[in-house]
Structure 1
Amino acid sequence: MALPPAFLDELRARTPLPAVIGRRVKLARAGRQWKGCCPFHGEKTPSFYVYDDHYHCFGCGEHGDAISFVMRSQGVSFTEAVEQLAAEAGLEVPKPSPAVAAAERRRLDLYAVLEAATQAFQRRLFLPEGARALAYLRNRGLTDATIRGFGLGWAGEGRGALAAELAREGIEPAQLIEAGLMKPAESGRPAADMFFNRVMFPIRDRRGRTISFGGRILGDGQPKYVNGPETAVFAKRRTLFGLDLAREAAHGGASVVAVEGYMDVIALHQAGFGGAVAPLGTALTEEQLAELWRLSPVPVLCFDGDAAGARAAGRAAELALPHLTAERSLKLATLPPPEDPDTLVRRPDGVAAFQAVLDAARPLSEALFDLLRESLGDATPEQRAAFSRRLEEVADQIPDRALGWEYRAAFRARFRERYRGGRPGGRPGARGDGARSVGGRPGRIGGGDSRPAVTAPPPAPPGADAIAAEQARILVAILLRHPVLLQEVEERFGSLVLPESLARLRSAMLEWFVGSEHLDSAELMTHLTAVGLAAEAAQALSALPIPLPECASPRAMPAEAEAGWWHIFGLMHRSRLDEEVALAQRDFAVRMDAATQRRLISLRAAQEALNRGEQGLETDR
């Protein structure tokens, strides 16, 4: 018995064709597609192209999808190929049964019912009863060719008209209910039309089959737009309006852009932006993102330039984070207020104006930085610290570690540029010969004998909370004695969870850091005294409950202090220290200058001290 087409569609949707073919063919990116030498005939010049849902060889004409490729390349049957791909996709192959066959027949019947409804709605639009609806669409700037191309129609003002018309084609009310065109009878009320007095927008699947409808009311009624309910062929979370047409345009090189509404998509297509699609009146879902990525590795999300648009952009951006790879990302474009794509593109210069919006679309990392800054604020030290922590959390959500490091580095670079602009780049007190290593021995990349002068620990204070509080105090004390280190550790310092008194100190220290031109300990202590925090600073520098380690002494060299700071930080957050080491290694590999070398030496020394089990509490006495 044949497998249900719905299952096969789902299998193809879940199977990344370039990955399947890439196991046997060396593929290279060619625009939005991939290309390689055809595995089915000998060739030296690549003519085998892989698209999102099919492959084609322009040399021998071989053509197919993931299933046919497995069959052809491995010499297996259709059933064997399906079972193999289903296992990889985490799908269960349906068992042949009379019930499954009957359900599939009903599902196929739904497509016929929905297509009949499409034709009925469209006919009605061009009859006298549809005059108001047709005038509305034409007043929105749509041509008759566009109206017919999208299958737009009119539901009519009389209830029961659709059921009466389709009854002549043998379609029963029960079928209309199953197709989402009628509401079932309930509480003594008869079945009723789902759509009434509305302009109708057919919603199509990737293959161009109508699977549901959206309807816009004429006049002031609410809700303005209504979508059909979930059915055997329609799932709102997996569907994009305009997807079937956007597929063709994307294959021809059009930019894929997600906008908000039906009319936005239609107006953009009419203006030549054939890659436009839209979710169905809700926030973008993971399934819809996957559909966008099947069309383009870097689709553009286009939002209104108001507060609601910013919130929608932020939600979509963070939704994408766990799914990002080096070859799959997003761009975010913002419309000039108060325009939406429909109004913008209908201006005399609309095509050029919308193209300028697309050209100005920002990479996801840049857009996320600005969206988070605007939502969290950055006017106070506390807000900047919260902003810095949130940037770190965002980068942590990216499962591709290399890409996560790149985002983290990009965020930090922008953070420093924005809030440290104009600060002298050098570090006062640092030696120019590449860094005095901690412990008094020459430092060298890779460790050697470089180590913090923080070796034999005294007994730790009892209890995990007491230990964490003492470690936090040491970190603050090191920065009170060596505030120049804030240039290197500010983001991580701001991300720490501190006791209340230390948190107040940190806020004041970061506020001073932003405005100070000379990162001097005496000037910092003067500032803290002026803001009423002298007692808190004195307590942080106290020898109680235990003496501070040597790295918190004013006698410590900058490299000793920095390595000691990272050592204590690593005791509190080892994984974050390892991330800092990895970032420093990448920075040094790219820049190869004294500053990145010093930083890498200090971080490596701290990491090695942790590996040796040192607790970082050797005192300055």
Structure 2
Amino acid sequence: MSLPPNFLEELRLRTPLAALIGRSTKLTRAGRQWKGCCPFHGEKSPSFYVYDDHYHCFGCGAHGDAIAFVMQNQGATFPEAVERLAAEAGLEVPKATPQQARREAKARDLHGVLQAAAEAFQRRLRLPEGRPALDYLLRRGLSEETIRKFGLGWSGGGRGALAADLKGQGIEIRQLCEAGLMREGEGDQPPADLFFNRVMFPIRDRRGRIISFGGRILGDGQPKYVNGPETELFSKRRSLYGLDLAREAAFKGAPVVVAEGYMDVIALHQAGFGAAVAPLGTALTEDQLAELWRLTPEPLLCFDGDAAGMRAAARTAELALALLSPERRLGFVTLPKGDDPDTLIKGGGPRAFQAVLDAAQPLSGVLYDMVASRFPGATPESRAALRHALEEAAGKISDKFLAGEYRRALLDRFFASTRRPAPQPWTGGGRGERGGRGRTPIPAFTPPRPSIDPDQVRGEQARCLLAITAAHPWLLAEIEEALGQLDLPAGLPDRLRQCLLAWHAEAPALEAAALSDHLRKTEPEGWEWLRRFPRMLPAAVAPDALPKLVAEQWWYFFGRFRGEAALLAERQEAERDFAASGDPAAQTRLIRLNELLAAQRRGEIEEEAFGDAAGDPH
């Protein structure tokens, strides 16, 4: 007996095809796809392409999905291939049972019922009773071709119309209820139509099979739009309107646009934006976001410019944060106030909508405004709450390196937006006291500034650099040579450096707790010096600091010691080392030096580097 289609679909979705095929042949990025030499026939130039849900060789014609690849590549039978992939995906293969056979037959039966209903709705649209619905669609600017492409129809104005239409095909009321087209009556009441006096919109799955319908009432009745109920085929939180058509357009490079409703999607397709989809009357769900990311790495979410649109955007952003990765991004499109995609295209044509797409911003660019809108005002309490909320938002991202980049971007903007302008000396504006004229202006009072002690500054820089090293000894594998060559101040800084390097040479594991014990015993004075004034230490000293932040701040202080001339010389040496050895450590060192030089030339100042490492950093 065949396996359930839903199980096989879930298995394919849980099996990243590029990762699976990459075990057998080297793949490289080619735009949004991957390419490599075909594993099924010998070739010198790549003609084998891997897409999200299938592969194709333009040389030998090999084609298929994840299951087909395991069968072709490993000589497995279909059941064996499914068993292997299911084990890797953490799925249990359903056992063949009579009940399962009945469910499969029922699913095929329901698809047939829904297809027959769609054809009946389309016929009724062309009958005299459907003329008001057809006129409505034509007034909305839809062409006859678009109406046919989306399979739009008319439900009929009387109850029982669909059952009467399909009775001649042997379709029973029980089947219409199971398909979500009718509902069982309460008590002694007969079953009732779910859709009547409505323009009908077929909802299809990613393979183009009808799984439910949506309907729009003509006139002023409520609700204006309704969707079919949850059935064995239809789950609202998993489905997207227009998905089957969007897959093909996205494959050809069209931007994936998420609009609000049926008519927006249809208007966008008709205007040339063929990868438009919409959720079904609810906010986007995790399942729908995952489906969008299967189409493109960065879908564009289209929201109205009013308060409701901003709230919807904020909800989606909050949901998406935990799911983001370097390969899973989001773009945000804000429409002019009072417009939706349909009205914008009617007023300005496709160019008007393309203009708002061109102005789309990534989530990283709009997240700050979304969070800041919850904390108006410039009081210390508001600023503290805002900063806490920004860090909390970045912390929701599960990819630690991406979370670090978001944190940096958000706090950079926080400091820039809350930085107070330098006060201007008061000159009196040409008036003396009490508004009199001709008086000598009161000179601005400028308090004397204490002189800066260069030795004290270098000592504090050394303390920061050594404190980061002591808190994260895993760094020593990367920075041992650089630390040994630094011209640190004599005394405690130099003694601590020697102690760290000696410990690294003998330590069985680079653990912070073991290093702390070693420093307490061998260099207690230096240990206390590192712990002094913890609020003045950089954020990288915190035990839970992200590795990227730790490395960046360590090299930042390293760069402060060396200066540009010394860094240039060191970069030349690093380039020679990497060219000679190709060693990953030499490459990392070269990358860090290039980043340091670029940052120094831009004049970057890491304002957030201090004051975050509360308490005992070790």
2:587 corresponds in structure 1 to none
2:107 corresponds in structure 1 to 107
SS at match of 2:237: helix
Residue 472 of structure 2 is aligned to residue 437 of structure 1: no
SS at match of 1:118: helix
Q: Distance in 2 between matches of 1:378 and 1:580?
A: 30
Q: Distance in 1 between matches of 2:8 and 2:231?
A: 18
Is residue 577–residue 607 contact of structure 1 (8 Å, CA) maintained in 2? Answer: no
Between 1:240-249 and 1:372-381, the stretch displaced more is 372-381
1:375 corresponds in structure 2 to 374
Is residue 245–residue 274 contact of structure 1 (8 Å, CA) maintained in 2? Answer: yes
Question: Shift of the alpha carbon at 1:376?
Answer: 2.7
Would the alpha carbon gap of residues 289 and 597 (structure 1) be closer, same or farther in structure 2, given more than 3 Å must change? closer
Q: Of residues 544, 554, 558 in structure 2, which corresponds to 1:575?
A: 544
1:460-516 per-residue CA deviation (whole Å, 9 max, x = no partner) reads xxxxxxxxxxxxxxxxxxxxxxxxxxxxxxxxxxxxxxxxxxxxxxxxxxxxxxxxx
Q: Of residues 591, 602, 605 in structure 1, which corresponds to 2:596?
A: 591
1:488 corresponds in structure 2 to none
SS at match of 2:336: coil
Question: Shift of the alpha carbon at 1:24?
Answer: 2.4
2:228 corresponds in structure 1 to 228
Point out which structure has higher relative CO (alpha carbons under 8 A, 6+ apart). 1
Question: Shift of the alpha carbon at 1:26?
Answer: 2.3
Amino acid in the other structure paired with 1:591: L
Residue 363 of structure 2 is aligned to residue 364 of structure 1: yes
1:258-282 per-residue CA deviation (whole Å, 9 max, x = no partner) reads 1110000000000000010000000
Amino acid in the other structure paired with 1:180: G
Question: Shift of the alpha carbon at 1:441?
Answer: 7.7
Would the alpha carbon gap of residues 327 and 422 (structure 1) be closer, same or farther in structure 2, given more than 3 Å must change? farther
Is residue 261–residue 280 contact of structure 1 (8 Å, CA) maintained in 2? Answer: yes
Q: Distance in 1 between matches of 2:604 and 2:325?
A: 27
Normalised TM-score (structure 2) = 0.75
2:585 corresponds in structure 1 to none
Correspondence 1:449-488 to 2 at 5 A? 450=493
1:495 corresponds in structure 2 to none
Q: Of residues 565, 577, 584 in structure 1, which corresponds to 2:535?
A: 565
Amino acid in the other structure paired with 1:201: F
Amino acid in the other structure paired with 1:223: P
Is residue 443–residue 450 contact of structure 1 (8 Å, CA) maintained in 2? Answer: no
1:400 corresponds in structure 2 to 399
2:71 corresponds in structure 1 to 71
Residue 140 of structure 2 is aligned to residue 140 of structure 1: yes
Is residue 451–residue 608 contact of structure 1 (8 Å, CA) maintained in 2? Answer: no
Across the two proteins, how many residue pairs are aligned to each other? Answer: 502
Question: Shift of the alpha carbon at 1:451?
Answer: 10
Is residue 437–residue 602 contact of structure 1 (8 Å, CA) maintained in 2? Answer: no
Amino acid in the other structure paired with 1:161: A
Correspondence 1:8-407 to 2 at 5 A? 8-347=8-347, 349-407=348-406
1:339-385 per-residue CA deviation (whole Å, 9 max, x = no partner) reads 001111112x2211110111111011111111111233244332222
SS at match of 1:297: coil
Would the alpha carbon gap of residues 440 and 586 (structure 1) be closer, same or farther in structure 2, given more than 3 Å must change? closer
Q: Distance in 1 between matches of 2:451 and 2:352?
A: 53
SS at match of 1:214: strand
Correspondence 1:529-544 to 2 at 5 A? none
Is residue 439–residue 451 contact of structure 1 (8 Å, CA) maintained in 2? Answer: no
SS at match of 2:544: helix
Q: Distance in 2 between matches of 1:435 and 1:379?
A: 32
Amino acid in the other structure paired with 2:535: W
Would the alpha carbon gap of residues 269 and 565 (structure 1) be closer, same or farther in structure 2, given more than 3 Å must change? same
Would the alpha carbon gap of residues 598 and 235 (structure 1) be closer, same or farther in structure 2, given more than 3 Å must change? closer
SS at match of 2:68: helix
Question: Shift of the alpha carbon at 1:166?
Answer: 0.2
SS at match of 2:202: strand
2:4 corresponds in structure 1 to 4
Between 1:586-595 and 1:318-327, the stretch displaced more is 586-595
Normalised TM-score (structure 1) = 0.75
Q: Distance in 2 between matches of 1:327 and 1:428?
A: 51
Question: Shift of the alpha carbon at 1:97?
Answer: 0.9
Q: Distance in 1 between matches of 2:463 and 2:314?
A: 49
1:237-270 per-residue CA deviation (whole Å, 9 max, x = no partner) reads 1100000000000011100011110000000000
Q: Which runs of 5+ in 1 are unaligned?
A: 454-549, 551-558, 612-621
Q: Which runs of 5+ in 2 are unaligned?
A: 424-448, 471-482, 484-491, 497-524, 560-591
1:445-468 per-residue CA deviation (whole Å, 9 max, x = no partner) reads 856754999xxxxxxxxxxxxxxx
SS at match of 1:96: coil
SS at match of 2:283: coil
Q: Distance in 2 between matches of 1:312 and 1:325?
A: 22
SS at match of 1:238: coil
Q: Distance in 1 between matches of 2:300 and 2:607?
A: 38
Between 1:207-216 and 1:39-48, the stretch displaced more is 39-48
SS at match of 1:315: helix
Would the alpha carbon gap of residues 441 and 278 (structure 1) be closer, same or farther in structure 2, given more than 3 Å must change? closer
SS at match of 1:112: helix
Q: Distance in 1 between matches of 2:463 and 2:330?
A: 48
Amino acid in the other structure paired with 1:414: R
Q: Distance in 2 between matches of 1:583 and 1:396?
A: 18
Question: Shift of the alpha carbon at 1:436?
Answer: 2.3
Q: Distance in 2 between matches of 1:227 and 1:34?
A: 38
Amino acid in the other structure paired with 1:365: S
Would the alpha carbon gap of residues 598 and 262 (structure 1) be closer, same or farther in structure 2, given more than 3 Å must change? closer
Would the alpha carbon gap of residues 170 and 574 (structure 1) be closer, same or farther in structure 2, given more than 3 Å must change? same
Between 1:366-375 and 1:153-162, the stretch displaced more is 366-375
Amino acid in the other structure paired with 2:550: V
Q: Distance in 2 between matches of 1:202 and 1:439?
A: 66
